[in-house]
Amino acid sequence: MEGTDNINFIFQFNNKGRSASFFVLYVVSGILFLATICLFIFTNMNLPLICAVLIGIAWFTIFYRIKPAYFEFLVTETELQVNFYSVATALKNYQSVLIPLNQLKGFEVKKKMFGYKKELILTIESKFGLADYPPVSVSILKSGELNQVIIILSKIINGK
């Protein structure tokens, strides 16, 4: 019998349900825009076709710029792990950040695009000084969920 990896998480959070909903919205809107465009092409309606194409381009550009993402936040007694991937693409690029708790020195939540785009930036101490990890999208987290993550990160940094 093989041993199992029993990891005791002090805190764990993910937005699996919400990110799945955004991925479904992305796919369904793509199908609807494609069907609408085909309908206008087949019925030879040029003005509605141009409008549909422009609206589709604007919709997918905004969706891509906001970068809705799956976000998982795990904290053990010794390390912090953040797993994430964008749901605004057909191909998933799974990424993960693993940080020993004693190396985490700061964090920042940057808001852009009138507050619709939110990014979490983690700062660690390395042998070359302070270094920032690339931003992780937290755009589709509800404000209460984001506040929980902020409180946990603050407690880690303050050593509590």
What local confidence, expressed as pLDDT, does residue 14 receive?
87
For 90-98, what is the mean pLDDT? 85
> Comparing C-alpha atoms, which of 149, 19, 2, 1 is closest to residue 80?
149
In angstroms, rounded to a whole number, what is the distance separating the alpha carbons of residues 63 and 152? 29
Task: Say if residue 4's pLDDT is above 80.
Answer: no
In angstroms, rounded to a whole number, what is the distance separating the alpha carbons of residues 142 and 60? 22
What local confidence, expressed as pLDDT, does residue 1 receive?
42
What local confidence, expressed as pLDDT, does residue 30 receive?
92
* CATH no. for 11-160: 2.30.29
Could you tell me whether strands 79-86 and 136-137 are parallel, antiparallel, or unpaired per DSSP bridges? unpaired
For 110-139, what is the mean pLDDT? 90
In angstroms, rounded to a whole number, what is the distance separating the alpha carbons of residues 86 and 82? 13
The pLDDT-based confidence of 2 (bands split at 50, 70, 90) is low
What local confidence, expressed as pLDDT, does residue 138 receive?
92
Q: What is the pLDDT of residues 51-86, one digit of tens each?
A: 999 999 999 998 888 889 999 999 988 889 999 998
The pLDDT-based confidence of 7 (bands split at 50, 70, 90) is low
The pLDDT-based confidence of 121 (bands split at 50, 70, 90) is very high
What local confidence, expressed as pLDDT, does residue 6 receive?
54
Average pLDDT across the chain, whole number:
88
Using a pLDDT cut of 70, give the percent of the chain over it: 94
What local confidence, expressed as pLDDT, does residue 28 receive?
93
To the nearest 10°, report the CA torsion of 27, 29, 30, 33: 160
Please give the model's pTM, rounded to 2 decimal places: 0.78
